[in-house]
Amino acid sequence: MISESERRDRKIEFLPQTLQEAIAAFAADPLVQRTLGKELRDEFIHYKTVEWEAYHLAVSPWEIERYSHLF
């Protein structure tokens, strides 16, 4: 494992940590549009954005178990 300063010096970035971050990275990559075309790229971004929103609004069993006793 490398140190944080070495990672910065070598310009190594972290991979997206959430689907939302991955969608943003995908949308910002010019290779995607050149490869898929604008229509397919936009449709995929829309589909994955809807998926993220649905996931983000759901309450998981872990959250229920962890937090339900607080209410």
> Which residues are within 8 A (CB) of 32 and not within 5 positions of it... i.e. 6 or more apart?
26, 41
Name every residue whose Cβ is closer than 8 Å to that of residue 25 and which is 6 or more positions away in sequence: 16
The pLDDT of residue 1 is 86
Amino acid of residue 27: A
pLDDT in tens, the chain (71 residues): 899 999 999 999 999 999 999 999 999 999 999 999 999 999 999 999 999 999 989 999 999 999 999 98
For residue 27, what pLDDT is reported? 97
How many Cβ atoms sit within 10 Å of the Cβ of residue 42?
A: 13
Instruction: State the pLDDT at residue 38.
Output: 96
Tokens encoding 65 = 């178990």
pLDDT at 71: 81
Token pair listed for 9: 């010096």
